[in-house]
Amino acid sequence: MKAVRFDRFGGPEVLEIVELPEPHPGPGEIRIAVRAAGVNASDWKKRQGLMDEELPQTLGYEAAGVVDELGEGVTDVAVGDRVFGFSTQGAAQAESAVLSTYARIPASLDFAGAAALPASIETATRALDQLGVKGGVTLLVNGASGSVGSSAVQFAVARGARVIGTASPANHAYLSSLGAEPVAYGEGLVEHVRALAPGGVDLALDVAGSGVLPELVGLAGGPEHVVTIADFAGAREHGVTFSRGDSGRAVHVLAEIGELIEAGRFSLPVARTFPLAEVAEAHRVGEQGHGRGKLVLLID
């Protein structure tokens, strides 16, 4: 099968499409013929040598496709079903992939839209679960217009929270459409938030990692009310929880997202799609900051 791999660290030019043996699912796993795979910042961080030291490496933790092989004990899906989910093998950017956690694709979504979901919705849900976001609280999301931030906004609104979200002015109308109250990020953040919530907020989620944890701690009344997914050093310095997948993943959201999508209460746009052979260009676009929505690879 064709798959993305790199044998040395560096820029997008190190990425290659190579032939690898087809994978097979273990107990409780499934294999899919991949139709689409999500592209994430972790992909280019791996490619740059910032995450794992071993070589060579494959890429891709989220994908959507058609089930073509079942592992032992799997009874909740059948060969031919459309599914999306996570590949713990980190090799989902390929013609075939083994999924360890999966769910059926909501009827209204195509493969690209489904492949865009897993990483963003799991990260957002995990952070909201750690914060204890529920109805009646006021949540501040710093960096609310990106894939994870907009997911967090929509999930928090669905839980009954009031959401204030930071974003560039160009994205304020978008945040409003998701149910958030937008404010400009950067200088004057505290004043902008307090204009909407004079007493501060109950909880704060930092998605942007833009160095504003002290301000978020002040607005939320203490570091115990703040979670960041993007500022590891700042979290240690200011006593804030850094949310990471190895602290317990919120994979329950895969089975839950369909109801919100079909009810029109959740959407995650696909910004752009690329053929598998153009994975290097997808990395270039992603590293330049591509704006709203996910980048997705399509596999014929």
Is the alpha carbon torsion for 85, 86, 91, 97 positive or negative?
negative
Cα 221 to Cα 183: distance, rounded to the nearest angstrom: 19
* Model pLDDT, residue 185: 86
Token output for 286: 């992603």
pLDDT in tens, 178-226: 999 999 988 899 999 999 999 999 999 999 988 999 999 999 999 999 9
Paired with 139 in beta bridges are: 163, 203
Q: What is the pTM of this model?
A: 0.94
The secondary element (H helix, E strand) that includes residue 132 is none
Residue 289 pLDDT > 90, yes or no? Answer: no
Confidence (pLDDT) at 246: 65
Exposed/middle/buried for residue 100 (C-beta within 10 Å: 0-12, 13-18, 19+): middle
Express as a percent the part of the chain with pLDDT over 90: 90
Three-state secondary-structure class, residue 25: coil
Going by the DSSP 8-state scheme, the letter that residue 195 receives in this structure is H
Cβ-based neighbour number of residue 247 at 10 Å:
10
Look at residue 248 in the predicted model and tell me its pLDDT: 77
Cα–Cα dist 255/77, whole Å? 13
pLDDT score recorded for residue 290: 61
**Secondary structure percentages of the chain, helix, strand, coil, to 5:** 35, 25, 40
- Taking residues 78-88, report their average pLDDT: 97
Query: DSSP assignment of 163-209, as one string?
Result: EEEEE-GGGHHHHHHHT-EEEE-STTHHHHHHHH-TT--SEEEE-S-
When computed from its CA atoms, the radius of gyration of the chain, rounded to whole angstroms, is 19
Question: DSSP 3-state assignment of 300?
Answer: coil
- State the CB neighbour count (10 A cutoff) for residue 159: 15
**Where residue 291 falls among pLDDT bands split at 50, 70, 90?**
low
Q: What are phi and psi for residue 106, nearest 5 degrees?
A: -55, 145
Report all structural domains of the chain as residue ranges with CATH numbers, in order of start.
2-116+269-298 (3.90.180.10), 122-247 (3.90.180.10)
For the chain, give the mean pLDDT. Answer: 95
For residue range 143-181, list pLDDT tens digits in order: 999 999 999 999 999 999 999 999 999 999 999 999 999
What is the band of 74 on the pLDDT scale with cuts at 50, 70, 90? very high
The predicted pLDDT at position 300 comes to 85
Give 298's Cβ-side CA count (13 Å radius): 10
- Element containing residue 189 per DSSP (H, E): helix 189-196
Tens digit of pLDDT for each residue in 10-60? 999 999 999 999 999 999 999 999 999 999 988 999 999 988 889 999 999
